[in-house]
A = this chain, B = another copy of it.
């Protein structure tokens, strides 16, 4: 006879295998699939995702959870077993509250909306996208209705990506952030611009690729349990912590994009590779949330990868690979160039100092759409007004404005906040690590990431989904998710770069 817990973990292992396989198929689709294979891959993917969903939401799982609830009442709520049961119960509850009829309608609606968005963006024609977006917003509000009322209807959507975070939490955090970040950008715009002309010449892909590999190997990316390839859009994926894959891309006129993309995805990968093997094939595998995951990619890409100590160590190696482009460029000039701040219209091309403002305006508009204080038809005006308020520039077209992101057409409401939260958490971790290790910058300046990596693994990576984001940040820093460290970091860094 197996115990209810053994029954549960056996069922979850099968679900995990199906999900891993679906992820691997998706990796293949984006990296190596011949173009004509799309339909066959769609069939396989649909079957695997459907079986994983059916098996996860099965009565057998529900029964095992009920049995465990009855027997487990008095156990330690922080034990691995209790956490597995709690997280699984939470995921099960979410997955079973949404009727299959809704899942099918949502899938159809976002499929049509994504297609319409692609055409509307190309034509910069918001009106053509409007009815689709209205339908998606309506469906999102219906989704909220499946769950018990929360303090704010947007809470339900946010919770899917940042478990335990509320609308009030993000509004309070971003209220502080917005004001000071807008002021910083305004001040920097008054300073003479830095010179990055040497980043706008022709580089060889091979040189950047080999250098990027050298860098993430030093970070600690484990090539025995991972690999890197190229894809149209960089991403990281994993099938358990023992096979973690990243991609990057080569864009001729943004040569450094290959390098920073690699460092970003390696940050995600180090998290996945660091999850304790004991969580494998349970609901505790993977990262705590999208925001916490993003804190790891941003930490390695920006706090490490765009820092002066990092380049004091690595710049001579890059220079040796790219002699013709970087001869005569000092490390200080290079450092300033990769930290150039520009007020621009497109989020994915935004620099570190302006990025959060792009995210915040989206979050505010999303909240307004969901609570009904903004009509979908009024979205372009609201968008353009906020861009002007935060960045001091106004989009000349919807293509360069409200139509630029795929997220809303894909039904991803509640997602944008995670990008900004990632930046904040990264800065909190970075400050905390320096408090524990005052030689932090000296370590980075020697290219020694071993203590940073070991600390992140022991404090964060190994736990997988054991702790929710707020709980995790509190365990590590002793306080709440807080914009102050990030603002200190930004203000300190950019005041120096633009001194």
Chain A interface residues (CB < 8 Å from chain B): 13-14, 17-18, 20-21, 24-25, 28, 32-37, 39-41, 43-44, 46-48, 51, 222-227, 229, 239-240, 242-243, 280-281
Contact = CB atoms under 8 A, between A and B. Distances in A.
A40 B227 contact: no
B281 A33 contact: no
Nearest to A14: B47
A256 B385 CA distance: 66
Contacts of A44: 17, 20-21, 24, 239
Contacts of A37: 225, 239, 242-243
A39 B242 contact: yes
Contact of A36 (B18, B222, B229, B280): B222
Given A17-B47, A34-B243, A36-B222, 5 more contacts: A13-B47, A24-B25, A36-B243, A37-B239, A51-B51
Contacts of A240: 40, 43
A163 to B, nearest CB: 25
A280 B40 CA distance: 9
Contact of A225 (B21, B36, B239): B36
Copy number in the complex reads 2
Nearest to A240: B40
A183 to B, nearest CB: 47
A172 B14 CA distance: 49
A223 B34 contact: yes
A36 to B, nearest CB: 4
A25 B36 contact: no
A28 B21 CA distance: 11
A408 B124 CA distance: 65
Given A51-B51, A224-B34, A227-B32, A40 B20 contact: yes
Contacts of A18: 47-48
Given A17-B48, A24-B28, A281 B34 contact: no
Contact of A25 (B21, B35, B224): B21
A143 B230 CA distance: 47
Contacts of A33: 243
Nearest to A41: B243
B40 A21 contact: no
Nearest to A241: B40
Nearest to A47: B17
A18 B46 CA distance: 11
**Top 9 nearest A-B pairs by Cβ distance?**
A37-B243, A17-B47, A36-B225, A36-B224, A40-B240, A21-B44, A17-B44, A40-B242, A34-B227
A258 to B, nearest CB: 20
A48 B17 CA distance: 8
Of the candidates A13, A35, A229, the one having the most CB atoms from chain B within 10 angstroms of its own CB is: A35
B43 A281 contact: yes
A28 B37 CA distance: 15
A182 B454 CA distance: 67
Nearest to A46: B17
A20 B44 CA distance: 7
A281 B39 CA distance: 12
Contacts of A21: 21, 25, 44, 47-48
A83 B51 CA distance: 29
Contacts of A229: 32
A128 B184 CA distance: 76
10 contacts: A17-B44, A17-B48, A18-B47, A24-B44, A32-B229, A34-B223, A34-B224, A36-B225, A39-B242, A40-B239
Contacts of A48: 17-18, 21
Contacts of A222: 36
A37 B244 CA distance: 9
Nearest to A18: B47
Contacts of A280: 40
